Amino acid sequence: MHEIKPGQSIELLKELHILTRDGKMNQDSRRKLKQVNHLTQFLAPLLREIQHQQTDVHLVDHGAGKSYLGFILYDLFFKGQEDGGKTAQVYGIETRDELVQKSRELARRLGFSGMTFLNLSVAQSILSPDLPDRVDMVTALHACDTATDDAIEFGLAKGAQFIVLAPCCQAEVASVLRKNKGKRLGGDVLTEIWRHPLHTREFGSHITNVLRCLQLEAHGYQVNVTELVGWEHSMKNELIIASFRDLPRRRPAQRLQELLHLLGLEELERIFGCRC
């Protein structure tokens, strides 16, 4: 089965219901596994970079859900590393307590001692004593609406070296564009871009991620944007990979402010404004 990587735990894939009890895979499961495994290809060189610099890794996955990503990352990269003098902690942050409890039980059964699951909001996780003051990588895979922005805020607060995001369901910007549409239509021709309701939604989604990239750049990150998987697998397909390189911040911070003003989105500075 070519979707399964060498050394990948068959038991884990069965527990995550990606494989059936007799080791088979349906189409939905194959798609989910392909998405997560494809993401690990982007994460692998980043994790190796961290491990080259230090012996321990702290990774936080926000909006973890059933923790597919956290479990598969731990299985592929971290299990059994204690014997080589390296340690890893993978934290799954999720607000649904029943999913947190199930993930804790699964980690216990699999012997994944470096996995911790916390029933917290992102805002709570920033101040929680159960998380380290600094983390190395923050991930948020299909975290809906402003949960992605919360994950960015967490990563910035924790000084994350890498922030990896697959945004989903961005509605905040579109709602502001929609609210201000009437008073702007008679003026700037630019508003034609989002005059029709469908365009408002799609443009809002696009500009949300543009603002997120500028925000990260305004904090010294190098940002790359690519496809998570092929369009045949998911319409929510954008992957933002931010690597802290201590780059100049002034120009992206200015561009961020200019774009908010140009589009009449000044009220969203509370989300996207640079607090560097």
Full domain range(s) for residue 114: 30-272
Question: What are the tens digits of pLDDT across the range 207-221?
Answer: 999 999 999 999 999
pLDDT at 232: 43
> Is the confidence at residue 17, as pLDDT, over 90?
no
The dihedral through the CA atoms of 73, 77, 83, 85 has a sign that is negative
CA distance 101 to 118: 9
* 16 inside domain: no
Residues 6+ apart with CB under 8 A from 257: 269, 273
User: Rounded mean pLDDT of the chain?
Assistant: 87
Cα–Cα distances in angstroms (integers) from residue 137 to residues 188, 225, 257, in the given order = 41, 17, 27
Question: What are the tens digits of pLDDT across the range 131-142?
Answer: 999 999 999 987
Strand order from edge to edge, sheet including 162-168: 115-119, 87-94, 56-62, 137-144, 162-168, 238-244, 221-227
Bridge partners, residue 212, by sequence: none
* 2 inside domain: no
pLDDT at 102: 95
* 23 inside domain: no
* 37 inside domain: yes
pLDDT band at 229 (very low <50, low <70, confident <90, very high): low
Residues 176-188, mean pLDDT to the nearest whole number? 76
* 3 inside domain: no
Residue 240 dihedral angles phi and psi, to the nearest 5°: -110, 120
CATH number of the domain that residue 126 is part of: 3.40.50.150
Q: Quickly count: other Cβ atoms within 10 Å of residue 222's Cβ.
A: 13
Query: How many domains in the chain?
Result: 1
* 108 inside domain: yes
Cα–Cα distances in angstroms (integers) from residue 237 to residues 81, 166, 227, 228, 234, in the given order = 32, 7, 6, 5, 6
* 84 inside domain: yes
* 104 inside domain: yes
Question: What are the tens digits of pLDDT across the range 54-73?
Answer: 989 999 999 998 898 899 99
